[in-house]
């Protein structure tokens, strides 16, 4: 199997670390505590963010997600996150990682509850074909990376990650697709576009490979990996 | 390809993993935190943890233990026992669990499945059912009846009907635990696992009876189960021998069952 060759510099700048912080958006329906546990395991400075005010100081943003696209959009809207996220991620270029529903709402529209989403990435969110597969998909499935990127440093061309989803994203722009997976259909399981990353699988629940991906994202956010 | 999952299941009492035989005579193994950490490092696919006396003692689930386990386990982690309402579910999720298993409470109040699925997504709700082989009757056409409260109380509900109703109400997975096979180490109940997996379109977890890797291979070969619970064979001192996750997966690979591949260096 082809190993991605990209060696990482160890993080050694302790003075920088004191101001570096990853913010995990906590909108009460998500899996934010699990993501925070994983970041703590990696010794990445991180905190839960439940108010748009607190987002201004963070160097990286993670939007976790479980539940439905509609409920997630409603929560983000009610908590006042929509404008500030757009400003930080689209204007200021703060590295952003969406997980599961956090990936899906980046697209234009989701079939789930006919939900208008953020529209940062052109494309839609569709339901798995129930006549072919059990829905939801639950379990470890193969993720095939179709191009290289710093965020997947140290990972093989194909790795297994833990999925829990009834819906999948279809990108209108093939260039954003970083990985693909098979489940009844061949779907996009990870994207990268400039400072925006998204994974359909649960990075925080995918054992050591998930932790490596999370570490890479944190290093990108910190500016030590690019 | 989606792989078959191995789920380690622990019964917890006072923060300790305990092993019972036919729901009795418990032996304590180690703290929940230590056992969970070991089995995570052994590359288990998933962990379920039942606070076995919470429901019986009418107290809330032991959240402190959930928190401790969640800090060390970076695979899916389900918690069950003593969950009565949405607030309890939220507390357990906030403590770091990814899914909630409901059993007796769902039989008493089926609405809790729908409420939980609406609030947290159906993937969060595992409907766990204790099934007992009985005579086939008009009321129990499948020949399997649902029991609750630690398999002490029989409900007169047919297992297949209950599974279908659970799916309709919003359960994301169904865990079928055979009361007859539980603790026997003689293999899963193939018949009911197969019957239920044919009758629902959500993932089914086989539970109760695994004693050696061949049993796990059998349930994946002969039924549509997506996952299998293993417990005694991993850590029970009552067994002649215990098996590592790798030994079990090696056996599954022999049977051409897709599994998450073993990773040589599991450290970060």
Q: What's residue A10's pLDDT?
A: 45
- Does any domain span residue B260? no
Residue spans of chain A under pLDDT 50 = 1-18
Q: What's residue B268's pLDDT?
A: 80
Tokens describing residue B124: 């969060």
Task: Answer whether CATH 3.90.76.10 is correct for domain A14-222.
Answer: no
| Contact assessment for residue B100 and residue B116, using Cβ atoms and an 8 Å cutoff | yes
Tokens describing residue B113: 């499945």
Task: Return d(Cα B74, Cα A195) in angstroms, integer.
Answer: 25
B212-235 pLDDT tens trace: 999 999 999 999 999 999 999 998
For residue A209, the chain B residues in CB contact (below 8 A) are 263
ipTM: 0.94
Q: Where are the beta strands (DSSP E) in chain A?
A: 22-25, 46-49, 60-63, 96-99, 109-110, 115-116, 123-127, 137-145, 158-165, 167-171, 177-183, 185-193, 196-199
Is the pLDDT at B122 greater than 50, yes or no? Answer: yes
- Does any domain span residue B242? yes
- Does any domain span residue B83? yes
Q: Mean pLDDT, to the nearest integer, of B23-47?
A: 89
Q: Which of A133, A134, A153, A185 is most worth mutating to test chain B (most B CB atoms within 10 A of its CB)? A: A134
Parse chain A into domains and list their residue ranges.
14-222
**Number of structural domains found in chain B:** 1
- Does any domain span residue B266? no
- Does any domain span residue B129? yes
Q: What's residue A30's pLDDT?
A: 67
Contact B93 A31 (CB under 8 A): yes
Please tell me which of the candidates B96, B121, B226 has its beta carbon nearest to residue A139: B226
What's the CATH number where B166 sits? Answer: 3.20.20.70
Is the pLDDT at B197 greater than 70, yes or no? Answer: yes
Is the pLDDT at B54 greater than 70, yes or no? Answer: no
Please tell me which of the candidates B1, B43, B263 has its beta carbon nearest to residue A182: B1
Tokens describing residue A139: 């379990």
* Higher pLDDT pick, B165 / B51: B165
For residue A208, the chain B residues in CB contact (below 8 A) are 74, 263, 265-268
pTM of the model: 0.93
Instruction: Label residue B240 by pLDDT band (50, 70, 90).
Output: confident
Please tell me which of the candidates A133, A165, A204 has its beta carbon nearest to residue B74: A204
Count of Cβ atoms closer than 10 Å to residue B259 Cβ: 22
Task: Return d(Cα A22, Cα A43) in angstroms, integer.
Answer: 11
Nearest residue on chain B to A69, alpha-carbon basis: B121
Domain range for B21: 5-254
> Does the beta carbon of B262 lie under 8 angstroms from any beta carbon of chain A?
no
Tokens describing residue A160: 């297994």
- Does any domain span residue B111? yes
Count of Cβ atoms closer than 10 Å to residue B108 Cβ: 12
Q: What's residue A29's pLDDT?
A: 66
Contact A207 B123 (CB under 8 A): no
């Amino acid at each position: 199997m082809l190993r991605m060759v990209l060696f990482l510099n160890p993080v050694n700048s302790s003075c920088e670390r004191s101001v570096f912080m990853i913010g995990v958006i906590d909108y009460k329906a998500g899996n934010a505590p699990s993501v925070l546990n994983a970041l703590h395991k990696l010794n990445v400075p991180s905190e839960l963010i439940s108010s748009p005010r607190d987002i201004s100081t963070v160097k990286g943003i993670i939007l976790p997600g479980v539940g439905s696209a509609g409920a997630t959009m409603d929560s983000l809207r009610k908590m006042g996150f929509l404008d500030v996220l757009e400003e930080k991620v689209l204007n200021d270029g703060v590295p952003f990682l969406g997980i599961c529903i956090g990936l899906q709402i980046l697209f234009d529209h989701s079939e789930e509850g006919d939900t208008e989403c953020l529209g940062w990435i052109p494309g839609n969110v569709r339901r798995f074909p129930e006549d072919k597969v059990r829905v939801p998909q639950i379990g470890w499935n193969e993720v095939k990376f179709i191009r290289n990127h710093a965020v997947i440093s140290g990972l093989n061309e194909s790795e297994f990650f833990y999925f829990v989803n009834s819906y999948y994203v279809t990108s209108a722009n093939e260039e954003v697709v970083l990985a693909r997976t098979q489940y009844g259909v061949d779907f996009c399981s990870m994207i990268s576009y400039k400072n925006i990353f998204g994974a359909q699988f649960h990075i925080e629940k995918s054992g050591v490979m998930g932790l490596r991906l999370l570490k890479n994202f944190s290093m990108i956010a910190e500016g030590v990996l690019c | 390809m989606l792989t078959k999952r191995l789920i380690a299941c622990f019964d917890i009492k006072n923060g300790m993993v305990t092993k019972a035989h036919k729901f009795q005579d418990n032996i304590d193994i180690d703290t929940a935190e230590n056992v969970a950490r070991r089995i995570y490092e052994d590359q288990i696919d998933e962990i379920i943890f039942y606070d076995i006396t919470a429901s019986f003692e009418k107290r809330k689930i032991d959240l402190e233990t959930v928190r401790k386990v969640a800090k060390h386990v970076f695979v899916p982690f389900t918690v069950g026992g003593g969950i009565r309402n949405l607030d309890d579910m939220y507390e357990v999720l906030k403590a770091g669990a990814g899914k909630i298993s409901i059993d007796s409470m769902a039989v008493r109040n089926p609405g809790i499945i729908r409420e939980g699925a609406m609030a947290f997504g159906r993937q969060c709700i595992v409907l766990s059912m204790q099934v007992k082989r009985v005579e086939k009757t008009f009321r129990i056409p499948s020949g399997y009846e649902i029991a609750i409260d630690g398999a002490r109380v029989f409900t007169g509900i047919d297992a297949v009907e209950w599974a279908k109703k659970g799916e309709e109400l919003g359960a994301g997975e169904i865990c079928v635990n055979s009361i007859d096979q539980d603790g026997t180490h003689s293999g899963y109940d193939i018949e009911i696992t197969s019957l239920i997996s044919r009758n629902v379109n959500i993932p089914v977890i086989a539970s109760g009876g695994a004693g050696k890797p061949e049993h796990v291979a059998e349930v994946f070969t002969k039924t549509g189960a997506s996952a299998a619970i293993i417990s005694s064979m991993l850590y029970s001192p009552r067994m002649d021998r215990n098996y590592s996750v790798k030994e079990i997966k090696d056996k599954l690979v022999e049977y051409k069952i897709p599994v998450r591949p073993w990773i040589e260096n599991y450290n970060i």
